[in-house]
Amino acid sequence: MSLKNKLKKITISHLFFPIMCLLIVLVVNVIKTPNFFEISINNGVLYGYVIDVINRGSELVILALGMTLVTAASKGQDISVGATMAVAAAVCCQILSGGEASVTGFQNSLLLAMLTALVVAAACGALNGFLVAKMHIQPMVATLILYTAGRGIAQLVTKGQITYIRVDSYKILGGYIPGCPVPTPIFVAIAAAVIIALLFKFTTLGLYIESVGINSNASRLVGLNSTKIIFIVYVICGVLAGIAGLVNSSRIYSADANNIGLNLEMDAILAVALGGNLLSGGKFNLAGSIIGAYTIQALSTTLYAMDVKADQLPVYKAVVVIIIVTLQSEVFRSFIKNLRTKNTGHGGSALNKEVQ
Amino acid sequence: MSDKLQPKVSQKKTLSSTTFLLLITIGLFIVMYVAGMILLADKGFSKPQMFCNLLIDNAGLIVISLGLTIVMITGGIDISVGSVTALVCMASAYSMEKSGASVYMALALSLGIGLAFGIVQGFLVSYLKIQPFIVTLAGMFFGRGMTAIISTEMISIKNTTFLSWAQFKISLPIGTVNKKGIFQAAYIYPTVIVALLALVVVFMMLRYTKFGRSLYAIGGNDQSAMMMGLNVKRTKFVAYIISGFLAGLGGFLFCLNTGAGFVEQAKGLEMDAISASVIGGTMLSGGVGNPIGTLFGVMIKGTINSLITTQGTLSSWWVRIAVAALLCFFIVLQSIIGSKGKKRKKS
């Protein structure tokens, strides 16, 4: 009985579902590629499938953090994060290159460029936040504007060309710090997660976000400024998207307005759903989203290793999404519950009646 | 007496706000087109053929947007239509070129694909109550991926019947006289006629059938629609099936226009269709929408596109920015009109 109780406790835990998903993907990986967990050191840096997954998944983790908050507070998703990434990268590279298509030295200071890029990203978030919080437009629709315009703006900034920054110190953010074997994006992702976690630990923002997401009218009546909280959340999401854009741009030491963060918004939403968060808002779980993001990255890496072409990847992702959302749906859950109570016979149904 | 009057007044109010949105859209289109005719007269913008080209280029998009309008009236959304178009083009191209199927079979296949997407997505949305955005997001992934699984290379269609359909010119009584004094009639392709027929059918359905009216009722408030005895689930289900069917048909028209299938085809078409519906006055919160507005939404987008390409010096990304700015304007306008209506109701 106690074992059964323990099992029940584990299965109803918020993290059970995302961790199970990750485990399934990992087990499939180990069967398919036995050397999956091998880590070696080449040229002073770590190599291996696992490192690759964690490294490549960094941007997705950063985006998923912002997406979780947006989902929780506004009951909708921000589909403009990919475009915001492109805008941030374009602004940063354009300032660094001073308008040239390819440079081997900085024309302006790196700090200035990155800060400006983040400010622009925050402005993108603020636009979304204004439309959602103040104008009461559905999040997906409000962010559709920037989704449509974002890459156009990014191309406007870079004048339609791909701006290359061939400077070693620019490659650090997406590559390696000299002398450190661990890829830098991992640190960036950890830092972002820790800062957000600390923010929620020492302020009441996290609680407010959940409260606004569960019932924004009731929250307003008890004295919370719902509009302000939703606005702040969108700005945070924008800044995080900006950081992800900078990391991605540093990886390829250029600003490719058409390809940076392409379809990444969809992956970020998927990560939030995989993490056991309800896409209809309310309570959220950041750890779940982070695990979800790595699961998606692991899935992508696995499929690549199995010789699935990049273009064909979406089919598998679609199947995963449908399975997850079906499992999450209330109708399906109550259907399963009914099956169970039927199986246990009279006792179950009596209990059910009592509850009602 | 006063009790009887009140509902009438409120009905009039909602009608006027939607008509207002529709009038703005039509007015904007006319202003834009006339401005184009005056400013770019030397580049042939004032020729009737230019207008026909607008219809020819956007025939597929008109049909797809109509389906989307129906779904959006119920308060849902369907972002899989772009991928369905790509899949339909690829499947038609592959079946005709590699498997030797006839055009009729390809057409049936296209409509079948559209219906299949509609049925699966509609079931998940209406009966399992999963958010439409997520369901159709998965549909979008699936469609695009399946296109790549069929073939990652571009297949151009050389089927003679298909090409004769695609290039069958229907001359119109209007036209221009060229420099040599020979009358050149403006022409359209059959795709335009199919698109306009679809528009008429959808318009009649939404306005005069019980099903069409219940779509509006459900979009306005599905709780009260249910209490009135409407079958909310089934109506939503059918709405998605119609949208899927129209996406399949629109995809085939799109294919007739491009004559090829490839993975990257129709990328972002779903957003074009959504923004066309929104610009045409369809409310994203559901309950309001007009297929005529959607037609003009598509035409406005098309006009922006041809204005910028005819003008020649502006880069292509300005299309995106201009469309987004328009979209922003209309969404904010809707929001203002919507909140005004709410305030009035409260007071």
> Tens of pLDDT along A131-141?
999 888 888 87
The verdict on residue A324 lying in a domain is no
pLDDT for the residue A349: 42
Choose the most confident range, by mean pLDDT, from A230-239, B98-107, B315-324: A230-239
Any idea what the Cα angle at residue A344 is, between residues A339 and A345, rounded to 5°?
Answer: 95
pLDDT for the residue B105: 92
Contacts of A130 in chain B (CB under 8 A): none
Res A355 pLDDT > 60: no
> Domain map of chain B by residue range?
50-167+194-337
More confident residue, A309 or A110: A110
DSSP symbol at B123: I
pLDDT for the residue B16: 66
What CATH number corresponds to the domain at position A118?
1.10.3470.10
Those residues whose C-beta lies under 8 Å from the C-beta of residue B308, and which sit 6 or more positions away, are: B314, B316, B318, B319, B322
Pairing state between β B183-188 and A163-165: unpaired
Task: Kindly tell me the burial class for residue B187, based on how many C-beta atoms sit within 10 Å of its own C-beta (0-12, 13-18, 19 or more).
Answer: middle
The verdict on residue A36 lying in a domain is no
Element (H, E) at A349: helix A346-355
| Pairwise CB contact (< 8 Å): A269 & B135 | no
Contacts of B134 in chain A (CB under 8 A): 269, 273, 279, 321, 325
The CATH class, in words, for B50-167+194-337 is: mainly alpha
Nearest-angstrom CA–CA distance, B104 and B107: 5
Res B121 pLDDT > 70: yes
Measured between alpha carbons, how far is residue B289 from residues B60, B67, B217 in Å?
20, 12, 12
Q: CB contact, 8 Å: A279 with chain B?
A: yes
pLDDT for the residue A356: 36
Which of A296, A139, A72 has its CA nearest to residue B141? Answer: A296
Which of A153, A271, A263, A242 has its CA nearest to residue B268? Answer: A263
Nearest-angstrom CA–CA distance, B76 and B241: 13
What values do phi and psi take at A41, rounded to 5? -115, 115
Q: Please report, rounded to a whole number, the percentage of residues in chain A having pLDDT higher than 70.
A: 93
Task: Give the residue-averaged pLDDT of A3-8.
Answer: 71
CB neighbours (10 Å) of residue B293? 26
Q: CB contact, 8 Å: A243 with chain B?
A: no
Counts of helices then strands in chain B (DSSP H, E):
13, 4
| Pairwise CB contact (< 8 Å): A145 & B327 | yes
Task: Give the residue-averaged pLDDT of B286-297.
Answer: 90
Q: What's chain B's Rg over C-alpha atoms?
A: 21
Nearest-angstrom CA–CA distance, B83 and B266: 7
Structural domain harbouring A74? 58-309
**Lookup: tokens for B21:** 């949105």
ipTM comes to 0.74
Q: Please report, rounded to a whole number, the percentage of residues in chain A having pLDDT higher than 90.
A: 33
- Structural domain count of chain A: 1
Q: Are A131 and A145 in contact (CB under 8 A)?
A: yes
pLDDT band per the 50, 70, 90 thresholds, residue A348: very low
CB neighbours (10 Å) of residue B207? 12
Task: Give the residue-averaged pLDDT of A293-306.
Answer: 85
Q: Are A321 and B138 in contact (CB under 8 A)?
A: yes
Measured between alpha carbons, how far is residue A201 from residues A207, B120, B227, B321 in Å?
10, 43, 45, 40
Which of A314, A304, A246 has its CA nearest to residue A59? Answer: A246
- Residue in B closest to A144 by C-alpha: B271
pLDDT for the residue A344: 64
Element (H, E) at B2: helix B2-39
A241-268: per-residue pLDDT in tens?
Answer: 999 999 999 999 988 888 888 888 888 9
Which of B241, B223, B269 has its CA nearest to residue B116? Answer: B241
Task: Give the residue-averaged pLDDT of A273-297.
Answer: 87
| Pairwise CB contact (< 8 Å): B145 & A160 | no
Out of A141, A145, A331, name the one closest to residue B324 (CB): A145
CA–CA min distance A63, chain B (Å): 18
Nearest-angstrom CA–CA distance, B218 and B70: 12
Amino acid at A349: S
pLDDT for the residue B234: 94
B158 three-state secondary structure: coil
Task: Give the residue-averaged pLDDT of B174-193.
Answer: 80
pLDDT band per the 50, 70, 90 thresholds, residue B44: confident
Contacts of B130 in chain A (CB under 8 A): 325-326, 328-329
Nearest-angstrom CA–CA distance, A289 and A272: 5
Res B4 pLDDT > 50: no
Contacts of A145 in chain B (CB under 8 A): 324, 327-328, 331
Q: CB contact, 8 Å: A307 with chain B?
A: no
Range scoring the smallest mean pLDDT among A67-71, A239-243, B149-153, B193-197: B149-153
Task: Kindly tell me the burial class for residue A206, based on how many C-beta atoms sit within 10 Å of its own C-beta (0-12, 13-18, 19 or more).
Answer: middle
> What is the rounded end-to-end Cα distance, in angstroms, of chain B?
20
pLDDT for the residue B324: 85
pLDDT for the residue B51: 87
Those residues whose C-beta lies under 8 Å from the C-beta of residue A308, and which sit 6 or more positions away, are: A316
Task: Give the residue-averaged pLDDT of A335-342.
Answer: 82
Range scoring the smallest mean pLDDT among A178-187, B191-200, B233-242, B327-336: B327-336
pLDDT for the residue A347: 44
Element (H, E) at B234: helix B232-258
More confident residue, B7 or B139: B139
Q: Are B58 and B296 in contact (CB under 8 A)?
A: no
Range scoring the smallest mean pLDDT among A185-199, A222-236, A290-304, B178-192: B178-192
pLDDT for the residue B85: 94
pLDDT for the residue A65: 96
Measured between alpha carbons, how far is residue B136 from residues A79, B60, B142 in Å?
14, 20, 9
B131-142 exposure pattern, b = at least 16 Cβ within 10 A, e = fewer: bbbbbbbbbbbb
**Lookup: tokens for A95:** 């300032």
pLDDT band per the 50, 70, 90 thresholds, residue A354: very low
pLDDT for the residue A345: 52
Cross-strand pairs, B184 = B176
The verdict on residue A166 lying in a domain is yes
More confident residue, A53 or A305: A53
The verdict on residue A35 lying in a domain is no
Nearest-angstrom CA–CA distance, B173 and B165: 21
**Lookup: tokens for B29:** 């289109």
pLDDT band per the 50, 70, 90 thresholds, residue A68: very high
pLDDT for the residue B6: 45
Those residues whose C-beta lies under 8 Å from the C-beta of residue A202, and which sit 6 or more positions away, are: none
Range scoring the smallest mean pLDDT among A125-129, A194-198, B221-225: B221-225
Task: Give the residue-averaged pLDDT of B302-306.
Answer: 88
More confident residue, B123 or B330: B123
Res B254 pLDDT > 60: yes
Q: CB contact, 8 Å: A280 with chain B?
A: yes
Pairing state between β B155-156 and A254-255: unpaired
Phi-psi region of B100 (alpha: psi -120 to 50; beta: other; left: phi over 0): left
DSSP symbol at A258: T
Nearest-angstrom CA–CA distance, B249 and B262: 18
pLDDT band per the 50, 70, 90 thresholds, residue B344: low
Res B49 pLDDT > 90: no
Res A350 pLDDT > 70: no
